[in-house]
Structure 1
Amino acid sequence: MTLHSSWVALTGQTRENTRLTQIGATTPANPLQARSGILPGSYDGQYRVSGFWLEGTSAMAATLHEGRAVIQGLSNQGVYPVTLDATVVLTFADGDALSNRIDLVVLRIYDGSYDTSGKYEAAVEIVRGTPAATPVAPAAPPLSLPLYKVAVPAGTSAGKGGINWATAMTDLRVPTVAVGGILPTLGEIAPGAYPGQYQDSNGSLQRWDGSAWVPYPAALGGIAPKGTLTTASYVGQYRDTPQRVLQRWNGTAWLPAVPGPLFAENLDSGSTTSVTYTRTLEETAVPQVQVTFTAPVSGAVLLTYGARMAPVGNAGAAAFTTVRVTQGGTEIWAPDDERAVIAAGDPGTSASTTTRLANLTADLPYSVTLMHRVSIPGVKTWFDNLFLRVEPLL
Structure 2
Amino acid sequence: MPVDPWAIDGLQYSGLEARTADALMAMGNGSALGSRSGVRPGDPGLTVTLAGTTINCSAGVAVVAYPGQGIYRVPFPASVSPGTYTAPHATLNRIDLVYLRVWDNTVDASGLTKGDVVYLAGTPSASPVAPTPSGTVIYVPLATITVQSVAGGSGASVSTAVRPYTVAPGGILPSSTAPTGLYVGEYYDDGTGLLRWNGTNWRQVSPYTPLSQPQVSQPGSFSPGTYTDFPSVNWPPLTFTVPPSGLVWISIGAAIQNTNSGTSTGWVTWRASGGVTEASSEANGVSTYGSRTYATRRVLRNWTPGASVTLTPQYLFSSVGALTSVTRADNGLLTVEPVAAP
TM range (shorter): 0.5 to 0.7
The aligned counterpart of 2:170 is 180
Aligned pair count? 237
SS of the equivalent of 1:34 reads coil
Whether 1:108 aligns to 2:101 is: yes
**Structure 1 pair 205/90, CA: closer, same or farther in 2 (3 Å)?**
same
Q: Quick check: 1:197–1:208 contact (8 Å CA) kept in 2?
A: yes
Residues 273-306 of structure 1: per-residue CA shift (max 9 Å, x gap): xxxxxxxx6xxxx6x6789799xxxxxxxxx976
The aligned counterpart of 1:207 is 195
The aligned counterpart of 1:54 is 48
The aligned counterpart of 1:30 is 30
Q: CA deviation at 1:116?
A: 5.2
The aligned counterpart of 2:64 is 71
Q: Distance in 2 between matches of 1:196 and 1:254?
A: 25
The aligned counterpart of 2:140 is 145
CA RMSD of aligned residues (A): 4.8
**Structure 1 pair 289/132, CA: closer, same or farther in 2 (3 Å)?**
closer
Q: Distance in 1 between matches of 2:252 and 2:93?
A: 64
Q: CA deviation at 1:112?
A: 4.3
**Structure 1 pair 25/38, CA: closer, same or farther in 2 (3 Å)?**
farther
The aligned amino acid for 2:147 is V
Aligned residues with identical type, % of pairs: 28
**Structure 1 pair 153/241, CA: closer, same or farther in 2 (3 Å)?**
closer
Q: CA deviation at 1:169?
A: 0.6
Q: CA deviation at 1:269?
A: 3.6
Residues 26-79 of structure 1: per-residue CA shift (max 9 Å, x gap): 122225322211023xxxxxxx3311011223x3212211111112212x3322
The aligned amino acid for 1:209 is W
Alignment partner for residue 182 of structure 2, among 190, 193, 197?
A: 193
Q: CA deviation at 1:101?
A: 1.9
Q: Distance in 2 between matches of 1:94 and 1:31?
A: 38
Of 23-32 and 63-72, the range deviating more from structure 2: 23-32
Q: Distance in 2 between matches of 1:108 and 1:386?
A: 76
**Structure 1 pair 86/26, CA: closer, same or farther in 2 (3 Å)?**
same
Residues 330-376 of structure 1: per-residue CA shift (max 9 Å, x gap): xxxxxxxxxxxxxxxxxxxxxx99xxxxxxxxx99xxxxxxxxxxxx
Query: Structure with the greater relative contact order (CA < 8 A, sep ≥ 6): 1 or 2?
Result: 2
Pairing of 1:229-244 with structure 2 (within 5 A): 240-243=210-213
Q: Quick check: 2:38–2:163 contact (8 Å CA) kept in 1?
A: yes
Pairing of 1:248-267 with structure 2 (within 5 A): 264-267=256-259
**Structure 1 pair 135/115, CA: closer, same or farther in 2 (3 Å)?**
same
Q: Quick check: 2:144–2:158 contact (8 Å CA) kept in 1?
A: yes
The aligned counterpart of 2:116 is 123
Q: Distance in 1 between matches of 2:253 and 2:53?
A: 70
Q: Distance in 2 between matches of 1:101 and 1:266?
A: 71
The aligned amino acid for 2:57 is L
Q: Distance in 1 between matches of 2:74 and 2:202?
A: 31
TM-score, length basis structure 1: 0.47
**Structure 1 pair 102/260, CA: closer, same or farther in 2 (3 Å)?**
closer
Q: Quick check: 2:38–2:63 contact (8 Å CA) kept in 1?
A: yes
The aligned amino acid for 2:186 is Q
The aligned counterpart of 2:72 is 80
Q: Quick check: 2:196–2:204 contact (8 Å CA) kept in 1?
A: yes
**Structure 1 pair 89/212, CA: closer, same or farther in 2 (3 Å)?**
same
Larger radius of gyration: 1
Q: CA deviation at 1:92?
A: 2.4
Q: Quick check: 1:198–1:205 contact (8 Å CA) kept in 2?
A: no
